[in-house]
Amino acid sequence: MVAGGLVVGLALTACAASDRDTGGDDGATDGGRDTFIFAASGDPSSLDPAFASDGESFRVARQIFEGLVGVEPGTADPAPLLAESWEVSDDGLEYTFELKEGVTFHDGTDFDGDAVCANFERWNNFTGVLQSESLSYYWQKVNGGFASSDVESLNGTGKYESCEAPDAGTAVIHLRSPLPELVSALSLPAFAMQSPTALEEYDADGVSGDGEAPVLPEYATGHPTGTGPFVFESWSPGEEVVLSAYDDYWGEQGQVRRVVFPIISDATARRQALQAGDIDGYDLVGPADVVALEEAGFQIVNREPFNVLYLGMNQANPDLADVRVRQAIAHAINKEALVAQTLPEGTEVATNFVPPSVAGWNADVATYEYDPDKARSLLAEAGKSALTIDFNYPTNVSRPYMPTPEQVFTAIEADLEAVGITVNAVPDPWNPEYLDRIQGGADHGLHLLGWTGDYNDTYNFIGVFFGGTSNEWGFDNPELFTAINDARYVADLDAQTEAYEAANAAILDFLPGVPLAHPVPSLAFKADVQGYPASPVQDEVYNVITLGD
């Protein structure tokens, strides 16, 4: 398996090297290079970000598209982008966005209030297969529904009511009920502004097939049209995506005139491609590779951790339904040693299911310090001193919150067995077996999983985990669900923060799982790549990068 991946990866890096060395478009007028080559771990699922929820799609989309809202560089906090400012009515039902002037889409269409409304109306009026979670995931999760619902799990219409454009420079969004996270959520590529002209010309909503295997239209495979600094040039599935500079970009274009994303699925092949000089950088650097690459003269750039790695405890398993057993497991784990032995340097030990930078993080939650004797005592009190439990973990994967799952499993297994818990290891390949087992049914016990935040909002973490019943956690706690969901819609931000702090305390008292760590994701680059805009939410646009000769 690994050998085959290396052959494919090296072949693709050769393709990328060919792109880099070609004259003409690739050579900067001042003699310096102007092509940035960043290895992707997989193809984008869609070039239309409204139909995407994965990191590889969003990495490409951020170069082509922009939203009303961006983020402050190096943070997850919302900041003006295509909207220069906004005002929210006292009742939280009306958002007035003042738009940047002089902006055009890549096809020459003006960006204005009508274009904003066209995008919002498009999202809200998705029908049929477009309402499947595999396509319109984020509109569902944030807005909660569509103008009309074709999906049984949705409760009809969502929060959005209408949009109006009183003039070219203004767009007003009307809501049916408050949605305090709206501004932060609008920083997602899924809510980027797209050219209404191109959407219509290339039948952007003409998706066929079912929700599990949709066939994307021409727009989503060959004509994505935004306002960003780079224009789509080509996509060769399994090989590469190529972008070029948009000459009429409203902002600073910078040195980079061409971006190439070679598809190199194997992590070892990505590292070898960097070492061979065939790429300029890559993401998801394995902790074991960081020191060796630094010693060889490559740059390691770390993102601020905006994630959580956790140990889940499925209460559909009767042994885990007893809170004393869950408390014993929490006390058995030496988090400090786990972080030191298995996770990147700079990783923070977690106490909440949200990182400390998110409003609502609570310093006063129950923390379950490492205490093997207390763990044994709690197991005895629960009548589980001879407990045997399945422990599910993924294989053949590296995630920003979980770069080495096998090592994390091994460390926790040793801690549990030290207090008398017999672990039955249940490894599964990441996709689709592992996620299907953990999220699709009740046949699992302890499990490793995590989450990288989409934007700076507490619900984007704890609401995803504990906002309602789920197969992953296997419990029904209406009081906890209500506390989390009520906090989501508190319009006053100070009051909302207090409500989320209380919800985080309630979660750790109930202890459905153990927050383990906030790992630091690492990227690696050639020494002459300067100014890479590392972002905790991966809002990384390449027009700010400079390249040496």
Please calculate the CA angle 3-527-39 and round it to the nearest 5 degrees.
Answer: 40
Q: Which CATH fold would you assign to the domain 66-236?
A: Dipeptide-binding Protein; domain 1 (3.90.76)
Q: What is the pLDDT of residue 398?
A: 82
Q: State how far the Cα of 535 lies from the Cα of 40, in Å rounded to an integer.
A: 17
Q: What is the pLDDT of residue 18?
A: 37
Q: What is the pLDDT of residue 23?
A: 36
In the chain, CATH 3.40.190.10 covers 1-43+237-303+523-549
Q: Do the strands 78-80 and 422-429 form a parallel or antiparallel pair, or are they unpaired?
A: unpaired
Report the share of the chain in percent with pLDDT over 90.
Answer: 81
- Tokens 């050998």 belong to 3
Q: What is the pLDDT of residue 397?
A: 83
* Phi, psi angles (nearest 5°) of residue 498: -60, -40
DSSP states of 420-468 = TPEEEEEEEEIIIIIHHHHHH-S--SEEEEEEE-SSS-TIIIIIHHHSS
Q: What is the pLDDT of residue 301?
A: 96
Q: State how far the Cα of 386 lies from the Cα of 324, in Å rounded to an integer.
A: 14
Residue-wise burial string across 116-127, b where 16 or more C-beta atoms lie within 10 A, e elsewhere: bbbbbebbbebe
Q: State how far the Cα of 408 lies from the Cα of 427, in Å rounded to an integer.
A: 12
Contact in structure between 407 and 341 (CB atoms under 8 Å): yes
Q: Which residues neighbour 91 within 8 Å (Cβ) at sequence distance 6 or greater?
A: 178, 491
Q: State how far the Cα of 438 lies from the Cα of 402, in Å rounded to an integer.
A: 16
Q: State how far the Cα of 141 lies from the Cα of 160, in Å rounded to an integer.
A: 12
Q: What is the pLDDT of residue 5?
A: 32
Contact in structure between 183 and 95 (CB atoms under 8 Å): yes
Is residue 485 classed exposed, middle or buried when 0-12, 13-18 and 19+ CB atoms within 10 A define those classes?
Answer: middle
Q: What is the pLDDT of residue 369?
A: 98
Token reading at 446: 């302890």
In the chain, CATH 3.90.76.10 covers 66-236
Q: What is the pTM of this model?
A: 0.86
- Tokens 């999760």 belong to 141
Q: Does the domain spanning 1-43+237-303+523-549 belong to CATH 3.40.190.10?
A: yes
In the chain, CATH 3.10.105.10 covers 307-518
What residue ranges of the chain have pLDDT lower than 50? 1-31
- The single-letter code of the amino acid at 246 is Y
Query: What CATH number is given for 307-518 in this structure?
Result: 3.10.105.10
